[in-house]
Amino acid sequence: MGVAKIRKQSGRRRTILVLLVCIMFIYLNNSSFWVRTMPKRPFLVAHRGVHQTFPLAGIQWDTNTAARIYEPEHGYLENTLPSIAAAFSAGADLVEFDLQLTKDGKFAVIHDHRLDYRTNGQGGVGDYTMAELKKLDIGYGYTADGGRTFPLRGTGVGLMPSLDEVLTAFPGRSFLIHLKSNQPQLGPLLVEYLRTLPPEQLNLLTFYGSDEPLDAIKRAFPHLRVMSKRTIIRAVLSYLMVGWTGYVPPAMQNTHLHLPFRYARWLWGWPHRFLQRMEKVNTRIILVLGDGRWSEGFDTETDLALLPPNYSGGIWTNRIERIGPLVKGEGQ
Q: Write out pLDDT tens, residues 145-169.
A: 999 999 999 999 999 999 999 999 9
Tens of pLDDT along 65-106? 999 999 999 999 999 999 999 999 999 999 999 999 999 999
Position 139 scores a pLDDT of 98
Q: What residues pair up with 256 in beta bridges, in sequence order?
A: 284
Among residues 51, 74, 111, 272, which one is catalytic?
111
Model confidence at 52, pLDDT cuts 50, 70, 90, reads very high
Poorest-pLDDT segment among 59-68, 75-84, 126-135, 210-219: 59-68
Position 6 scores a pLDDT of 63
Position 4 scores a pLDDT of 66
> Distance of CA 265 to CAs 108, 208, 228, 306, Å?
37, 23, 21, 11
Residue 258 designated active-site: no
Inter-residue contact 321 to 84 (CB < 8 Å)? no
Inter-residue contact 109 to 51 (CB < 8 Å)? no
pTM: 0.92
Residue 112: HSE in the Cβ half-sphere, 13 Å Cα cutoff:
22
* 168 sits in which H/E element: helix 163-169
Domains and CATH numbers, the chain: 60-76+97-226 (3.20.20.190), 228-332 (no CATH)
Q: Is the pLDDT of residue 331 over 50?
A: no
Cα angle 40, 251, 274; round to 5: 30
Tens of pLDDT along 258-279? 999 999 999 999 999 999 999 9
Is residue 195 left, alpha or beta, with left meaning phi > 0 and alpha meaning psi from -120 to 50? alpha
Position 7 scores a pLDDT of 64
DSSP string spanning 256-324? EEEEEHHHHTTSTTTTHHHHHHHHHTT-EEEEESTTSSS-----SHHHHTTSPTT--SEEEES-HHHHH
> Distance of CA 248 to CAs 227, 234, 258, 259, Å?
17, 12, 17, 16
Inter-residue contact 176 to 102 (CB < 8 Å)? no
Residue 47 designated active-site: yes
Model confidence at 332, pLDDT cuts 50, 70, 90, reads very low
* 12 sits in which H/E element: helix 3-30
Per DSSP, the three-state class of 163 is helix
